[in-house]
Amino acid sequence: METMTLAGAINAGLRKAMERDPKVLLMGQDIGSLGGVFRVTDGLLKDFGGDRVMDTPLAESGIIGTAIGMSMRGYRPVCEIQFDGFIFPAFNQITTQLAKMHYRSQGKITLPVVIRVPFAGGIGAVEHHSESPEALFAHTAGLRIVTPATPQDGFLMIQQAISTADPVLFLEPKARYWDKGEVDVEAPFVAEGASAAMSRARIARHGDDVTIVAYGPTVRVALQAAQVCESEGVSAEVIDLRAISPLDTAAVVRSVKKTGRCIVVHEAPTPFGVGAEIAARVSEEAFYVLEAPVARVGAFHTPYPASKLEHDYLPSVDRVLDAVDRVMVH
């Protein structure tokens, strides 16, 4: 076991994947000598060369379009979009080409493209650098959307994403890049079943009274809230979704059938978000065990604010605890 940051763990996972398969290539703005804005690709150019770690022009549509063509010729491109808010120039390529080619070709064509995206807020950035656009992509069939919350998952899930034949949007919570954790770097990697494994939710904390569902950057917030709950006599179970699409509905429903209460926490605006989808599924599959309506805790339905206001905009421990109070009174 080694202690790593999330950024360092993803770097180690990329290195493992590149050592394993010479068809794995990295593409993106400033990912070479700079090592990316957050240094996630640091050192990989030196070790693998410019043919496999490629700096690209500032043209997101061109990056994804090129990756689509390369994947059709047998390569496994891993693209980096510098910031979440910069992904929209590539939205057409991702949603109308990358996501649909397998279906359009009746399964004859696979596009094993991974798109790494630092996403969400909490770092005091300027406009268009703190978006949470996951629901826009989750609405498009044909994409896998995953997000690690721990260094161990960052290390393993990036390898799993690269190994799958499906296109994967790999959302990296940028405010958690410097969080440290233990990583088993010598764990054997098994490609078979990897796509299913990275889509399986995990129980981050066991509890009996209320289920708190989170993913990516809000897992830490949910765990902090659960710790406060314990001091107040409430036992909260925290589910780390890992995958947004496909959703591990079964794991959430199992937990809710035990606790009878459910809260969903995400940084994206609450209306029309992933939390709404989870609330609908829980209502459909666990309605008769619910002791209270499913509660959602998210950002407000406004554009992302100036950095001095972001901590009022984002879900906080206090807002999660307020939701716990609301569902526990029923």
Going from N- to C-terminal start, the domains of the chain cover 2-198, 202-328
Q: Tell me which DSSP letter residue 329 carries.
A: T
> Cβ(170)–Cβ(84) under 8 Å?
no
> Cβ(123)–Cβ(175) under 8 Å?
yes
Q: Which residues are catalytic?
A: 129
- Whether 202-328 and 2-198 are alike in CATH topology: the answer is yes
Residues in the chain, pLDDT under 70: none
Rounded Cα–Cα distance for residues 85 and 76 (Å): 24
- CATH code for the part of the protein at 2-198: 3.40.50.970
Report pLDDT for 126: 93
Which sign does the torsion angle of CA 129, 147, 145, 210 carry?
A: negative
Q: Phi/psi of residue 208, each to 5°?
A: -125, -15
Which of these CATH numbers, 1.10.3720.10, 3.40.50.920, 3.30.43.10, 3.30.420.40, describes 202-328? 3.40.50.920
* Alpha-carbon distances of 6 from 31, 39, 54, 173, rounded to whole Å: 17, 11, 23, 9
